[in-house]
Amino acid sequence: MKQSLNICDHVGELGLECPIDRGRVTLTQVVDVPKFIPPGKYTLKCNVTIAGVRPITCLTGTIAFGG
């Protein structure tokens, strides 16, 4: 899956503001997930760039669904 968005339009939902401080940031969030997603542990990797060209950070995480 590939998606482009302006991260500063969404960081408020996580209790952050732009510019985000340099360094490691740990986020924990609980959300309702549609029932059709199979239970399991999924890995997330997100490369963040400026204008789709210059890399500025990489986000990684683990998501666990259901049982």
Distance, CA of 47 to CA of 60 (rounded, Å): 9
Residue range of the domain that includes 59: 7-65
pLDDT of residue 67: 62
Domain count, the chain: 1
Note whether residue 1 is domain-resident.
no
Note whether residue 2 is domain-resident.
no
pLDDT of residue 41: 92
Q: Is the pLDDT of residue 20 over 70?
A: yes
Mean pLDDT of 16-29: 82
Residue % of the chain over a pLDDT of 90: 4
Q: Is the pLDDT of residue 1 over 70?
A: no
